[in-house]
Homo-oligomer: A and B are copies of this chain.
C-alpha cells in the first residue's frame, strides 16, 4: 500500500501565506484551464489545463482513502458530510466528535498516525492512502511511513505562512526523483519518492 501526500506549494515552501493568504496564487491552476473536473461538491468544479487534468486524474486514481487532521476537518466542517474526493476518510484526533457515528465516509482514530494509516489502508480497497495537510504528512515521515511526495510548485513567493512540512525530527530526508515533471499553467507538478 502506497502512502503519499501532495500540496500546492509556493517556491519558498509555503502551503498558505501569512494569515491564511495566498490561495488565489496557490490554487490558480485549479481554475485556469478548460478541462472540467467535477468534485464530490456540486458547487465546486475545477477547470484545469489538459496537462494538470491528466496529472490530477493519475494522482486521484491511486487514492483509495485519506488520512486528514482534525484542524482541516473542523475548518471545512467535515466537508459538509463527505470529503470532495469521495473516498473513506480517517480523521486523526484526540477527541472524536459526536454526530458522525453513522457516517459512511468518516472514521476517527485517536491512537496515532500509524493506526490512522493502517485503518485507512483497510478502507482503501487495494489503492493507496493520501495524507492531507503537511502536519499529518510530517508525522508520517517521522514514523517512516510516507512513500511519495507530490508537489504542485507554484511560481510565487509568499514570504511566510504555513510550511508544507514542519517538525521533521528525521530531517534531512532524501527524496528520489522527480519521478515525473509535468508543466501546467502557473504550476509545475513534481512527484518524488521518499528514499528508505
Using A11-B149, A171-B17 as known contacts, say yes or no to A178 and B155 having CB atoms under 8 A apart.
yes
A155 near B177 (CB under 8 angstroms)? yes
Copies in the complex: 2
Q: Which of B12, B156, B165, B181 contacts A157 (CB 8 A)?
A: B165
Total interface residues in chain A, CB < 8 Å:
38
A178 CA to B157 CA, complexed, in Å: 14
A187 CA to B146 CA, complexed, in Å: 21
Q: Which of B163, B173, B175, B188 contacts A190 (CB 8 A)?
A: B188
> Which B residues lie within 8 Å of A174 (CB)?
25, 155-156
> Which B residues lie within 8 Å of A153 (CB)?
153, 190
Q: Is the C-beta of A158 less than 8 angstroms from some C-beta in chain B?
A: yes
A175 CA to B11 CA, complexed, in Å: 9
Q: Is the C-beta of A45 less than 8 angstroms from some C-beta in chain B?
A: no
Q: Which of B13, B160, B173, B188 contacts A181 (CB 8 A)?
A: B188
Closest B-chain residue to A167, C-beta based? B159
Using A21-B172, A25-B172, A178-B183 as known contacts, say yes or no to A11 and B192 having CB atoms under 8 A apart.
yes
